[in-house]
Chain A
Amino acid sequence: MKKFNVKKFFVYFFLVIGALIMIFPFYWMIINSLKTAQDMTLYPPSWTPSNWFNFENYKVAFEKAPFALYFLNSIIVTISCLIITTFTTIMGAFAFSRLKFKGRDLIFSLLLGLMMVPFEMLVITNYMTVAKIGIIDTLFVLILPFTSSIFYTYILRNFFLSIPDSLYYSARIDGASNWKYLWRIMVPIAKPSLVTITILNAITCWNSFYWTLLVINSDAKRTLPYGLYAFMTEGGSDMKLMMAAATITIVPMIILFLFARKYIVNGVARGGLKG
């Protein structure tokens, strides 16, 4: 019995140490966002702010850069991406799993091949394309290239394939069209998969940086991660302001994570995060 407890002790011991290291940067971010200029000069750095309710840095950060606007832009872009991508994904996955047409398997294998092309390889041409369309430096340009995802379609198609054929045929005999069958029967059954896909997609959209860096110039069109980066390069060296701004960027994703941890973990375990 005693040996058992010793083992448990070590399990807890290492888990606590590991967990503390993993969340330490978040703790450090928050306490430094609450520090005063005087706190910041201390060395070794103090592990707590002198006043836990000093929100001055947030106020200054909001005054110096339009973080509320960046936040709104991020919300608009993320939600638009989610709605459109979910729609194209459902339609595509249905065609590839339930409908029969010539060349279906060939097209699908080609798509799987395309899945391993890194996004970084596509940006040059995509930049030229959106420049030609004339939508550089609009929010639209942050949405348009991400309306279809092979990866999510692949995950959802696999789920659709696991729904038994008999369900489909009985629905068809009852006179339901493919369209009705898809939206009334398949989509409700696939809800857990769809939630997972949507959340993974939301994280990717919200954190998107490389593409935004290339196609957005004006201040009013920045999203949070890019706005934060610009704030750093333009506003310079005041780290306590940076920490307040970083907290504003990160908190929405932390909240999402706390509520949807199971879906995120399952989604990652099943397919891996893309990117």
Chain B
Amino acid sequence: MAAAVLGSKKKSGSGIFNTKWEPFIYLAPFLIGIIVFTLYPVINIVLISFKEGYRQITGAFTGYGLGNYARILSDPYFINALKNTAMYVIFVVPISTVLSLFFANLLNQKIKGIAIFQTAFFLPMVTSVTAIGLVWKLMFNDRIGVINAVLGLFGVEPIGWLIDPSMNIWALIIYGIWNMMPFTIILLLSGLQNIDPLYYTAARVDGASSSKQFFRITVPLLAPTIGLTCIINMISASKVFGELFPLFNGSPGTAYNLFTVVYYIYYEFSVSRHLGYAAAASIILFLIVFVFTMIQLYVQRKWKYY
């Protein structure tokens, strides 16, 4: 296709180039993909979520209504999925942000070997959650795991991270914090590097201590970046899913206790084959993401000229 376009281009001013249709030649390859695999699915999923008694193979349904929503909102597994997802967001996002702020501040100092430290801190970002999740599975092992071994040095009894249902979510949260930190550190570090060094010079002239500089200059000036980072992380934490597969052999927790919203969508779609429920759950996921996105846009606009 591209070759044909190139060939017809030899004489300038002829063919479809240099006509008012020209922009659409450039747009077509991009837009076709978006229309088929993004726009159409969005419309379709909204429709399916309202179709009652929908059958995937025939496409038949009994009528439009709120049945799917009523069903999943009274499904204890979905309520549990919402709870687990909320808990994951509430713990992973603030803890990883505070830790990342601490390390981003250290990585922003003028010291030797900064490239080595950056490499170490950013490395987890490029690895697949499935592959490195397997390592966490081994580390969390209750009998031979290194985490229990280290805790044992402090007199902690072995914890059944991956076999005791009440501990499952903590394993997921710890893994999630580690996973989220590189990305968060990078965003905060780039925010730190945008702060005018003159502020610090002035503070030092006035005799302000390091900790005073941190809390009186760094934190307030970095507030927009911190806010933005939190919201981006809340969006991605709301979609926690792939992390579950390596930790619990593909099932959500030891006893189906650790459904997350996306896992629920996957389960209803792929295992139970209830498309309507999966669609309704997708729309609820979208609403959660939508709320966070609106807050993000609001924060971005409000702090633009900070």
Chain B residues close to A by CB (< 8 Å):
2, 5-6, 9, 12, 17-18, 20, 22-24, 26-27, 29-34, 36-42, 44-45, 48, 56, 102-103, 106-107, 109, 111, 115-132, 134-139, 141, 143-146, 149, 152, 178, 181-183, 186-187, 189-190, 210, 232, 235-236, 239, 241-242, 245-246, 249-250, 262, 265-266, 269-270, 275, 278-279, 282-283, 285-286, 289-290, 293
Query: Cβ of A142: which chain B residues have Cβ within 8 Å of it?
Result: none
Query: Cβ of A95: which chain B residues have Cβ within 8 Å of it?
Result: 23-24, 26-27, 30
Query: Cβ of B137: which chain A residues have Cβ within 8 Å of it?
Result: 239, 242
Query: CA A45 – CA B151 in complex, angstroms?
Result: 13
Q: Assess the B106–A92 pair: CB atoms within 8 A.
A: no
Known: A11-B111, A246-B134. A210 touches B241 (CB 8 A): yes
Q: Assess the A122–B30 pair: CB atoms within 8 A.
A: no
Query: Cβ of A179: which chain B residues have Cβ within 8 Å of it?
Result: 5-6, 9, 17
Q: Shortest distance in angstroms between B183's beta carbon and chain A's nearest beta carbon? A: 6
Known: A116-B293, A177-B17. A207 touches B127 (CB 8 A): yes
Q: Assess the B149–A43 pair: CB atoms within 8 A.
A: yes
Question: Which applies to chain A's interface (DSSP): helix, strand, loop or mixed?
Answer: helix
Q: Assess the B120–A19 pair: CB atoms within 8 A.
A: yes
Q: Shortest distance in angstroms between A180's beta carbon and chain B's nearest beta carbon? A: 8
The verdict on A201 contacting chain B, using a C-beta distance below 8 Å, is no
Name the CB-closest residue of A to B143: A43
Known: A45-B144, A87-B2, A268-B183. A258 touches B119 (CB 8 A): yes
Q: Which of B23, B126, B181 has the most CB of A within 10 A?
A: B126
Query: CA A75 – CA B6 in complex, angstroms?
Result: 29
One of A7, A87, A125, A229 near B41 (C-beta < 8 A): A125
Which of A54-62, A145-153, A162-170, A188-196 is the interface stretch? A145-153
Q: Shortest distance in angstroms between B158's beta carbon and chain A's nearest beta carbon? A: 10
Question: Which applies to chain B's interface (DSSP): helix, strand, loop or mixed?
Answer: helix
Q: Assess the B125–A99 pair: CB atoms within 8 A.
A: no
Q: Assess the A243–B250 pair: CB atoms within 8 A.
A: no
Q: Assess the A124–B232 pair: CB atoms within 8 A.
A: no
Known: A87-B2, A179-B9, A261-B122. A18 touches B106 (CB 8 A): yes
Q: Assess the B121–A101 pair: CB atoms within 8 A.
A: no
Query: Cβ of A104: which chain B residues have Cβ within 8 Å of it?
Result: 23
Known: A118-B286, A207-B128. A92 touches B30 (CB 8 A): yes
Chain A residues close to B by CB (< 8 Å):
7-8, 11-12, 14-15, 18-23, 25-26, 28-29, 32, 40-45, 87-89, 91-92, 94-96, 99-101, 104, 111, 114, 116-118, 120-129, 144-148, 150, 153, 175, 177-179, 203, 206-207, 209-210, 213-214, 224-226, 228-229, 232-233, 239, 242-243, 245-246, 249-250, 253-254, 256-258, 261, 264-265, 268-269, 272-273, 275
Query: Cβ of A239: which chain B residues have Cβ within 8 Å of it?
Result: 137-138, 141
Known: A92-B27, A148-B34. A269 touches B189 (CB 8 A): yes
Known: A126-B37, A177-B12. A23 touches B123 (CB 8 A): yes
Name the CB-closest residue of A to B296: A116
Name the CB-closest residue of A to B245: A229
Q: Assess the B144–A209 pair: CB atoms within 8 A.
A: no
Query: Cβ of B265: which chain A residues have Cβ within 8 Å of it?
Result: 120, 124
Q: Shortest distance in angstroms between B252's beta carbon and chain A's nearest beta carbon? A: 14
One of B17, B29, B42 near A87 (C-beta < 8 A): B29
Q: Assess the A22–B121 pair: CB atoms within 8 A.
A: yes
Query: Cβ of A224: which chain B residues have Cβ within 8 Å of it?
Result: 128, 131
Query: Cβ of A45: which chain B residues have Cβ within 8 Å of it?
Result: 144-146, 149
Known: A22-B182, A124-B48, A272-B232. A250 touches B125 (CB 8 A): no
Query: CA A101 – CA B39 in complex, angstroms?
Result: 21
Name the CB-closest residue of A to B233: A272
Known: A233-B249, A257-B123. A14 touches B27 (CB 8 A): no
